[in-house]
Structure 1
Amino acid sequence: MPGCGGPQGVFVGQFKANHLADRLESAAKARQATVARFRARPGADDPVVLARQSARRAIIQAREIRETERAMARLAAEAQREAEALAELERQEAELARQAAEKAERQAALAAEQKAARDARFAARKARARR
């Protein structure tokens, strides 16, 4: 192969030596960059930080208000459903009571008719026996 040196055909070019000293130096530079970024951050009393914190507090308070409103709406809807269910139950009970009263009236009327028929038969039998 052209450009390959050596008997095995392995590339024998210029390699950047990555020795221990180079690795330690790059690690130190990374640490220094991290420290520099940390030191560049604004302090807790910085107006930008305070504004960001107050904005976050406002968002949290608005979220809590919305959650409270949703919970209240959910409770109101549940109370409404319970009231409707109770009204339906009362309506059904009233209907059952009305039907029971009608049935009792029909039975009383039937009993009165049956007694009148029985009395008429008895009176007719007595009248036949007297003749």
Structure 2
Amino acid sequence: MYVGQFKANQLVDRLEAAAKARQATVARFRAHPSADDPIVLARQSARRAVIQAREVRVNEREMARLAATAQHEAEALAAREREAAEAARQAAEKADRQAALAAEQKTARDARFAARKARARR
């Protein structure tokens, strides 16, 4: 066996294999249906339907998330308003207590003053 012939056979085999691979690729490409084929059109419409359904679901989730966020914000606002009302009520009660205490202290001071005046007149 001659070495040069062996190498030539390998080269020929590789070239033939490459040619067959190219032919197979071309055959696969040609086997695809055209863009106006009913099967292709049906697949495209099915894909569009799936995409639209997905978009609807995404929009519904977004709307639900926005509604939940709005609900949460409304609850937080109501809680802040309740806290503010409670703080205002407590401040009013404190002011009332201080006013009552001041009036009581004034009454006690006036009574002491009147008692001192009465002792001085005797």
Q: TM-score, normalised by structure 1?
A: 0.85
Unaligned runs of 5+ in 1: 1-14
Correspondences of 1:69-108 after superposition (within 5 Å): 69-108=60-99
Q: Which residue matches 2:115? A: 124
Aligned partner letter, 1:113:
E
Correspondences of 1:1-131 after superposition (within 5 Å): 18-131=9-122
Secondary structure in structure 1 of the residue aligned to 2:34: coil
Give 1 or 2: higher helix fraction. Answer: 2
Secondary structure in structure 1 of the residue aligned to 2:55: helix
Q: Report % sequence identity.
A: 83
Q: Which residue matches 2:3? A: none
Tell me how far 1:83 sits from its aligned partner. 0.5
Q: Where in structure 1 do 4 or more consecutive aligned residues deviate above 2 Å?
A: none
CA distance in 1, matches of 2:23, 2:52: 39
What is the CA RMSD across the aligned residues, in angstroms?
A: 1.3
CA distance in 2, matches of 1:85, 1:22: 78
CA distance in 1, matches of 2:17, 2:74: 73
Which structure's CA Rg is the greater one? Answer: 1
Aligned partner letter, 2:27:
A
Tell me how far 1:126 sits from its aligned partner. 0.7
Secondary structure in structure 2 of the residue aligned to 1:35: helix
CA distance in 1, matches of 2:120, 2:13: 141
CA offset digits 1:1-46 (Å, max 9, x no partner):
xxxxxxxxxxxxxx9x852112111111111111111111111011
